[in-house]
Amino acid sequence: MVVSSNLKPYKISIHLHAAFLILIVVAYTRSKVVQQVVLEEGKFKSIKKLLLISIFLLLGQLVLGSLVRQSFDDLRLAGELREEWVDLSGWIFLTHRTFSLLYAAVAGAAIYFLYEAKIKHIAVRAILVLIVSNILTGVVMGYFEIPQVMQPTHLVLASLLLTYSCVLYFGLKEKTTSI
DSSP of 27-65:
HHHHHHHSPPEEE-HHHHHHHHHHHHHHHHHHHHHHHHH
pLDDT tens digit string along 87-125? 898 899 999 999 999 999 999 999 998 888 888 888 889
Return the closest-CA partner of residue 171 out of 33, 18, 49, 55.
33
In a domain, 8, yes or no: yes
- Between the CA atoms of 44, 45, 47 and 51, what dihedral angle is there, to the nearest 10 degrees? 120
In a domain, 98, yes or no: yes
For residue 120, give its domain range.
3-174
* Total domains present in the chain: 1
In a domain, 179, yes or no: no
Inter-residue contact 162 to 58 (CB < 8 Å): yes
Return the closest-CA partner of residue 101 out of 162, 66, 60, 144.
60
pLDDT tens digit string along 137-146? 999 998 888 8
